[in-house]
Amino acid sequence: MDKRHFERFYNLYVTRIYKFVYFRVGGNKALAQDLTQDVFLKAFEAFDRYDPTVSQVSWIYTIARNHLVNHHAKTRPSVDLEDIEGTLLASEDGREHYARRHDERALIEAIGKLPEEDARLVKMKYLEGWSFEDLESVLEKTSGALRVQASRALKKLKKCMKDPYASVGE
């Protein structure tokens, strides 16, 4: 794809990629900023090879996720992709800058108890601001199916917050 179109691409996704990174580095703003820049540097270098038939969301999401995996691999002795996906509560310095209130903390903990797919959808949709249409290509489901899944996940969240010991698994 022509690099002249990169500016538009950057403006479109910079905020969402920043939030995606932010929640996976424990709310560390400076680190999220650096990693977001790195993601877009990689995207720029690969922009020539980008196939327009592939979803832009899926493409930049893959770059961001792989970059985060590499980052955590460098900072930790060993890392698993599942750990990265579930690092919403785990920050590098042990604090969660984004969960200031008790109910917010309870909510974050409840998300951690959801099934993996539900938790991923809730985080990307409601925390990071991706649209259902964007998530179609990332999660490989139709937007209608994602809406239903999100609605059910929210119900599970409510249930989990009411009763922290309730089972909300599949």
Partner 1 sequence: MSNVLLFINNMFSPKWNLWRIGRRATPDKATVVAMRLELQKAGYLPHRSSWALLHARTAAVISTVLAMSIVGATGTYAYVSDTVLPDQPLYSVRQGIENVQIALAVTAEQKARLHQQQILRRMHEAALMQKQKRVIPPQHAQTFLNALREVETASTTVVMTDPMTREERQALRAQLRAQLRVERAQKYAAQLKVRAAADASSTEQDLNDDDRSVNDDGQGETAAGVTASSTISVPSSIVVSSTASTYDDHDETSAASSSHVEARIHRATGGTRLRLHGSMTTTTTGRLLNLFDK
Report the C-alpha gap between 167 and 55 in whole angstroms: 36
- The amino acid occupying position 81 is L
Q: How far is the CB of 4 from partner 1 (least distance, A)?
A: 8
Q: How far is the CB of 129 from partner 1 (least distance, A)?
A: 6
- The amino acid occupying position 113 is K
* Residue nearer to partner 1 on the CB measure, 43 or 57: 43
Phi and psi for 84 in degrees, rounded to 5? -65, -45
Strand spans (E) along 13-106: none
* Residue nearer to partner 1 on the CB measure, 80 or 151: 151
Take residue 27 and report the two structure tokens written for it.
């709310």
* Residue nearer to partner 1 on the CB measure, 15 or 75: 15
Report the C-alpha gap between 156 and 170 in whole angstroms: 10
Note whether 75 and 91 are within 8 A (CB). no
Please count the residues of the chain. 170
Q: How far is the CB of 52 from partner 1 (least distance, A)?
A: 20
* Residue nearer to partner 1 on the CB measure, 73 or 164: 164
* Residue nearer to partner 1 on the CB measure, 69 or 154: 154
List residues binding partner 1 (CB under 8 A): 6-7, 10, 14-15, 18-19, 22-23, 27, 29, 33, 36-37, 40-41, 44, 98-99, 101, 103-104, 107-108, 110, 122, 126-129, 154, 157-158, 161-162
| Nearest residue to 137 (alpha-carbon basis) of 39, 51, 42, 73 | 51
Q: How far is the CB of 97 from partner 1 (least distance, A)?
A: 9
Q: How far is the CB of 6 from partner 1 (least distance, A)?
A: 7
